Amino acid sequence: MAVPIFRASIPKPHPLIHSISSALSLTDETWKRKRLLSCCAASSELKPFRPELCFSVGTYLIPHPNKVEKGGEDAFFVSSYNGGVLAVADGVSGWAEQDVDPSLFPKELMANASNFVGDVEVNNDPQILIGKAHAYTSSIGSATVMIAMLERDGILKIANVGDCGLRVIREGKIKFSTSPQEHYFDCPYQLSSEIVGQTYQDAMVSNVELMEGDIIVMGSDGLFDNVFDHEIALTVAGYRDVAEAAKALANLANNHSLDSNFDSPYSMEARSRGFEPPLWKKILGMKLTGGKPDDITVIVGQVVSL
């Protein structure tokens, strides 16, 4: 995410004290793996019978073209806890100008969130989980973050700080969308190692009731800056396998991001904010177009019953 750092001052770097869990390993095998997130069934004689719900999940990550060697600056995890947990964090690349590795903060943040998923204090609340993970993150840097936790009764709890996104697709149509939070164009809300910045209390919180067969698409802004909602719904509809759907969406976003002629969601938003094309394009009567090269993380979850 090539955006400004929202901060006041830069403290001296200190070492990363928490190791990154194996669930965050960004290998091709992990990116492409399809996992069935199971959950325990708990019936009640006082309520009408309803199947317990959980996720079947596929993930895929494509680093920014200039960051392939180190794997990019996004981090994510999925967990089988309760009905399933999906999470993504997008490191702010502006920290590289301060000789800080922008990938360390989001990786540690996700590692801590993964470790605290079942914590009693968290109590199945993604907003509290963000807060606790942030409090235990010691790396210098900042990141946007989104965590979604599925209850076994089908309620999806979502907490978001910044411009990661989530879509709920039902019968081929977008039924729910999160909205980005930003200070100004291309500078989203972000958790930070700095005193000045956002906290879990600034998270946008949503609850969505899901049904069996619903599709969840979560991703970093590298997906939603380059792919329109109707493209997301159409692409997902073409695959029965969630891992293949995640891969297809990531590849579509990557192709759009490198196409200077594609009128992307990012370029359309830029024009609406008053940004203009380079002078040579203006002389030729051309408008501001093009995708946005970035790290692209895609998580696709299908709601299934046990």
d(CA 19, CA 104): 10
Of 193, 291, 175, 288, the residue nearest 236 (C-alpha): 175
Name the region of 213 (left: φ>0; alpha: ψ -120 to 50; beta: rest).
Answer: left
Q: What parts of the chain have a pLDDT lower than 50?
A: 4-45
Task: State residue 242's pLDDT score.
Answer: 98
Going from N- to C-terminal start, the domains of the chain cover 53-258+291-305
Q: Are strands 74-79 and 85-91 parallel, antiparallel or unpaired?
A: antiparallel
Task: State residue 27's pLDDT score.
Answer: 37
pTM value is 0.84
Task: State residue 283's pLDDT score.
Answer: 72
Other C-beta atoms lying within 10 Å of the C-beta of residue 148: 25
Other C-beta atoms lying within 10 Å of the C-beta of residue 225: 27
Domain 53-258+291-305: CATH class, spelled out: alpha beta
d(CA 283, CA 292): 23
Interval 71-92: pLDDT, tens: 999 999 999 999 999 999 999 9
d(CA 116, CA 146): 15
Interval 173-194: pLDDT, tens: 999 999 999 999 999 999 999 9
Task: State residue 46's pLDDT score.
Answer: 53
Q: How many residues does the chain have?
A: 306
Task: State residue 73's pLDDT score.
Answer: 98
Task: State residue 29's pLDDT score.
Answer: 42
Amino acid at 46: L
Task: State residue 195's pLDDT score.
Answer: 84
Task: State residue 51's pLDDT score.
Answer: 86
